[in-house]
Structure 1
Amino acid sequence: MRSAPRTEHVVQEAYVMSRDYIRYVTGRAAKAAPTVTAAALRHAGDDLLAKYPIFFKRWPRVFKAISSDNACDYLFNILDQHFQPDKPWQKKELTWSGILSIYVLAGQLAIHCQSHGMECVLEELEVRVGEYMEAKVCPGIREKGGWSGFVERYAEKEEPERAAVRACCGVLLLLASISLTYYMYRRLR
């Protein structure tokens, strides 16, 4: 039983992000991300892996007992334990960093499977992560108003120096066009 049809934007985006990120980290993705949300996920995942490499070095040990038959179930067991509320009557707060960690962990599992000759798991992983997101996470994303908060938080930001250069170039272009217009006006008069 699905909470919403896959045609809903929040759900579609969850599947697109799952497919794209797993393909991206395993070197099978298109050069450009298919959506701005997927691009934000790629950027955030790369940033997280670069800032905290020591944290991700332990995953190969954790994934040591995985086989192609149990890889997806193993992942969802870990995720369910992490996202389970402390008390049965509590609701676990859904954060953008928690959502990012789902995709990054799935990506780490995909890398592990690929490097251990279990490429057959990758497509199933793409689909099942999308299904997990649809069932367990998308209702919370709907409550947050969609994926815009994720993009706002994790999209690659333009460097301040580059923004200043673009602003200066824009002002110079505006001044040049005003000067040219004035020159043409004076000449034709």
Structure 2
Amino acid sequence: MTMGQSTEHVVQEAYVMSKDYIRYVTGRTSKAAPTVTSAALRHAGDDLLLKYPIFFKRWPRVFKDVCTDNACDYLFKILDEHFRPENPWQKKELTWSGILSIYVLAGQLAIHCQKNGMESVLEELELRVGLYMESKVCPGIRDKGGWSGFVERYAAKEQPEHTVIRACCGVLLLLATMTLTYHIYRRLH
């Protein structure tokens, strides 16, 4: 794979995640996530909502001045302020949690728009979040080697209990197979 193909994948994935996540949180899709990165984003967003519901209660107040004409610009103003380095000569370090926050905030704005009769903004929001990611975030993701770190950090992990149960079932299956093989062998000889 050439660098151009890798770069293109990073950008394509950013657009897929934008479209999928906004449709997911607004209930406009019931399909499974189209990529593992989108699935990780859905899982992480749901996990945040479950663990920190108080954090999400403040967004309607923050978005009170949003209207159809300024929704996307309002979002990007918040994001640009958040990701601006403290000093002009510094570069703000972009973390996976920061990247997650872009999508989650866009999702919260989409929910706000949907609840307040501004559904016409949702498709534009999907596209413009993708454009924002492409221009401001994807270069940093390329430097990180692509989306694999995001998936590693945010994909649903198997519960330890399930791992133990699966191991026990495997051992029982192996013992049953060995016992059956032994009895068949004894009957034949």
TM class, shorter-length: over 0.9
- For 1:54 and 1:45, locate their aligned partners in 2 and report how far apart those are by CA, in whole Å: 14
Structure 1 length-normalised TM = 0.92
1:81 alignment partner, SS class: helix
- For 1:5 and 1:172, locate their aligned partners in 2 and report how far apart those are by CA, in whole Å: 46
Letter paired with 1:114: Q
Partner of residue 81, structure 1? 81
Aligned runs of 1:1-189 on 2, under 5 Å? Answer: 8-189=8-189
Letter paired with 1:37: T
Letter paired with 1:179: T
Contact map agreement 1:5 1:11 (CA 8 A) in 2: no
Q: How far has the Cα of 1:182 moved from its partner?
A: 3.1
Q: In the TM superposition, what whole-angstrom CA distance separates every residue of 1:126-152 from its partner, at most 9, and x where no partner exists? A: 011011111111111111111111111
Q: In the TM superposition, what whole-angstrom CA distance separates every residue of 1:77-117 from its partner, at most 9, and x where no partner exists? A: 11011111111211111111101100000000000000010
101-110 or 11-20, which deviates more: 11-20
1:65 alignment partner, SS class: coil
Q: How far has the Cα of 1:166 moved from its partner?
A: 0.7
Contact map agreement 2:72 2:128 (CA 8 A) in 1: yes
CA 1:38/1:170 → structure 2, altered by over 3 Å: closer, same or farther? Answer: same
Contact map agreement 2:6 2:146 (CA 8 A) in 1: no
- For 1:160 and 1:112, locate their aligned partners in 2 and report how far apart those are by CA, in whole Å: 37
Structure 1 unaligned spans of 5+: none
78-87 or 173-182, which deviates more: 173-182
Letter paired with 1:117: G
118-127 or 146-155, which deviates more: 146-155
Q: What stretches of structure 1 move > 4 A for 4+ residues in a row?
A: 4-7
Matched length: 186
Q: How far has the Cα of 1:179 moved from its partner?
A: 2.5
CA 1:29/1:72 → structure 2, altered by over 3 Å: closer, same or farther? Answer: same
Q: How far has the Cα of 1:7 moved from its partner?
A: 7.8
Structure 2 unaligned spans of 5+: none
Contact map agreement 1:113 1:121 (CA 8 A) in 2: yes
CA 1:5/1:80 → structure 2, altered by over 3 Å: closer, same or farther? Answer: farther
Letter paired with 1:79: L
Contact map agreement 1:72 1:125 (CA 8 A) in 2: yes
CA 1:6/1:151 → structure 2, altered by over 3 Å: closer, same or farther? Answer: closer
61-70 or 178-187, which deviates more: 178-187
Cα RMSD between the aligned structures? 1.7
Q: How far has the Cα of 1:30 moved from its partner?
A: 2.7
- For 1:37 and 1:87, locate their aligned partners in 2 and report how far apart those are by CA, in whole Å: 32
